[in-house]
Amino acid sequence: MEFITYQNFNKSITENFDHNFIINKRGLYAVSITASCRSGKQTSQRGGEDLRIEIDGKKLREIPAKDKPQYKDIPTTWNGTDLKGLKKTVIFILWLEKGNHKITFAPYRKAKIENIKIDFVKDTSKIEFSLEKQAEDGDRRPWHAFALINLPLKFLSANITTKWRLKDSDDVKLIIDNKIQKNKFSIFHRNWLWSGSIFKKFFQKETQEKNIKTDLSQGIHYIEFWADRMPVLHNVELDFGEAIKIKRIPTKDDPEWTGNFYDDTEQIILSRAIFGEARSLSDKGKAAVGWTIKNRVEDLSRWSNNYHDVILEKKQYSVFNETDKNLPFVKNPFQDKTQIDEWFKCYEIAGKVMQGEIKDLTNGANHYFSNFIPTPDWAKSKQSEFKIQIGNTLFYNLDWSKNKGFIKLKPLLIGLISIAVLLTGVYVIAEIGDVNNNIIISDVAKNMPSGKRFLLNPITEEIEVIYFDKNGAFLRSAQMTTNGYSKSHFKASYSGDGDRLGFFQELHKKGEGYDKNDEKSRKEYYDNYIALMIMDGKHGALKEVYRGDAHTSYWEWGRDDYGHVIVYYNCGSSCLYAYKINIETKEIESEYHVY
């Protein structure tokens, strides 16, 4: 490892304390923190002292996760009742981006910070910590802990000396993800993997290296060493199995998608969800949407215990669907320069929601929908409890534990759905991608049958027609639109009745924003955000058949004929709505919930 910095504090704190540091190159780092807390008996206060820390606002919780997150009395915290004033070291191993970072110390009553040491990890396949640390004399308490953040662990080895002492010998306990590693060779020290004895002293076996196969997949993992008396921890080696590739981690100032949303920090993925789902809402609305997601994360009876799994679950947040109009903005919030301020606001709100710095105005809601559409079935159910309306968004709490009969019906419903799928006809439409497909004319022309094809040029964002001869060779191209508005979700139908083209067209040109200090201006901007445009062939007039707000998701041709389109609207969590529109009359002939 490469030494970066060391700071000796020897400082007692009674309120939150921030330590800022700078990283000059991105990579894997080991952040070592030594601190101490006293027990209630030592302070004459019931419960004693405690300390927890956050790095860049990230809160760690218990493993395995319980119904409600536990942020104290876990391996990465300092518990005065256990420590009784003795020192404990926690080493956080995590990826850090180049730039400014912050460690926040959050004490309960009081804590003493001893020192902070930061090292750069050169070899990302395994790390060896040469510690040579002897424990202070004490009775069965936490001593050293390692927190692996989004990392795997294949093997663990530790070299420790436990000496025999006349009345009470040295012992060391090893706990991995809350599981005590058992000592198979001792009856009296079953939970202490290293134990001092007169026999080990006689045979000079007081120093022993233990090798443990862990096979832990990538995630958050805790390794704890507990000490009894005064053992010596010589070194610890953590083997990841293979070199961990250095990857870019999206940040507030550089949020572009890496290709995998799981590369995001929890604050970034929550910011993306708020930005995609609620950037058109007021700040209260944004915070409320953020809280509905947090409430799911903290309810393990139905959802996962992390923001990524909750947000990326299918049919929950439509802006993460591949077909959704908002997905490009979710992947790169800087795509539209006029909305960068909204992204920064969403990021700020996400952080405050996660930290509990913004009150949950929804009072426990976990679902929401826009009142522009009819009430979804889930909001009418007995399991649903209305909480609050903020602007045009209604927030509900769904408690599915009240529903006992649905589970019995589930197999029957699955069977009926399967039959319906088999009976559904297959409709094939010849079309060429949308603005997100990096296609160029020469690629389209290759091996194409004679005739013409329409496409959306991803560079100019204008519609073009290209012509081919009978051998599929490119002849010429012509631009059909020149209005300068961004376009996406292009589709073309080719039939004997003539060609028909359709696409989404944004109603604001790039660079056209709104007055950030005017709520009415912001509302008008997002309410009139997108239009579905239809054109009949090369010489047909460009016609607007639908106008929608920022929650408009995607569209497709009608399934009975090309005289209709179906526009999908992201109406909230677990909520997608559809409008069937007559192209000629522009009337909505039917509307319904998709889910």
Confidence tier at 496 by pLDDT (50, 70, 90): low
Which of 387, 402, 417 terminates a domain? The answer is: 402
Choose the weakest-confidence range: 53-57, 100-104, 179-183, 450-454: 450-454
Report the pLDDT value the prediction gives residue 423, as an integer from 0 to 100.
36
Per the structure, the count of domains in the chain is 3
274 and 325 within one domain: yes
What percent of the chain lies above the pLDDT cut of 70?
Answer: 91
266 and 235 within one domain: no
- Residue 200 is inside which H or E element, if any? helix 198-202
Picking from 36, 234, 235, 232, the residue whose alpha carbon sits closest to that of residue 135 is 232
Report the pLDDT value the prediction gives residue 294, as an integer from 0 to 100.
95
Report the pLDDT value the prediction gives residue 416, as an integer from 0 to 100.
40
Question: pLDDT (tens digit, 9 = 90+) per residue, 512-566?
Answer: 888 878 888 888 889 999 999 999 877 778 899 999 998 999 999 997 778 899 9
268 and 137 within one domain: no
Question: pLDDT (tens digit, 9 = 90+) per residue, 74-118?
Answer: 999 999 999 999 999 999 999 998 889 999 999 999 999 999 999
478 and 391 within one domain: no
Picking from 192, 107, 177, 182, the residue whose alpha carbon sits closest to that of residue 146 is 177
For 484-511, give the DSSP string. ---EEEEEEE--TT--EEEEEEESS-TT
pLDDT at 443 over 80: no
* Within-domain flag for 114: yes
Contact 27, 99 (CB under 8 A): no
Pairwise CA distance, residues 273 & 286, whole Å: 10
205 and 270 within one domain: no
* Within-domain flag for 553: yes
The tokens describing 414, both together, are 């699955």
Q: Supply the mean pLDDT for the chain.
A: 87
What percent of the chain lies above the pLDDT cut of 90?
Answer: 62
pLDDT at 458 over 50: yes
Secondary structure of residue 80 in the 3-state scheme: helix
Q: How far is CA 336 from CA 112, 318, 341, 510, in A?
A: 47, 20, 10, 7
218 and 187 within one domain: yes
**Residues 257-271: what's their mean pLDDT?**
92
Q: Is the preceding omega at residue 449 within 30 degrees of 0, hence cis?
A: no
The four Cα atoms 228, 233, 237, 238 give a dihedral, to 10 degrees, of: 40
329 and 185 within one domain: no
Report the pLDDT value the prediction gives residue 369, as an integer from 0 to 100.
94
pLDDT at 232 over 90: yes
* Within-domain flag for 338: yes
454 and 582 within one domain: yes
- pTM metric for this prediction: 0.66
Pairwise CA distance, residues 343 & 333, whole Å: 6
Choose the weakest-confidence range: 35-39, 435-439, 498-502, 507-511: 435-439
pLDDT at 406 over 50: no
- Which residue do the tokens 């969590």 mark? 573
**Residues 144-164: what's their mean pLDDT?**
96
Q: How far is CA 288 from CA 278, 384, 395, in A?
A: 9, 17, 8
Q: How many CB atoms lie within 10 A of CB 97?
A: 18
**Residues 480-496: what's their mean pLDDT?**
86
User: Which residues on neighbouring strands pair with residue 547, listed in sequence order?
Assistant: 531
* Within-domain flag for 147: yes
Which of 239, 271, 286 terminates a domain? The answer is: 239
pLDDT at 448 over 60: no
Which residues have a Cβ under 8 Å from the Cβ of 568 and sit 6 or more positions away? Answer: 318, 323, 552, 553, 554, 555, 556, 576, 577, 578, 594
The separation between CA 115 and the C-alpha centre of its own chain, rounded to angstroms, equals 32
**Residues 231-259: what's their mean pLDDT?**
91
584 and 470 within one domain: yes
* Within-domain flag for 564: yes
Report the pLDDT value the prediction gives residue 540, as an integer from 0 to 100.
79
The tokens describing 272, both together, are 């993306």
Report the pLDDT value the prediction gives residue 270, as an integer from 0 to 100.
97
Report the pLDDT value the prediction gives residue 67, as an integer from 0 to 100.
65
Picking from 319, 582, 579, the residue whose alpha carbon sits closest to that of residue 594 is 579
* Within-domain flag for 434: no
230 and 268 within one domain: no
446 and 393 within one domain: no
445 and 573 within one domain: yes
Tell me the residue range of the domain where 203 lies: 2-239
* Within-domain flag for 254: no
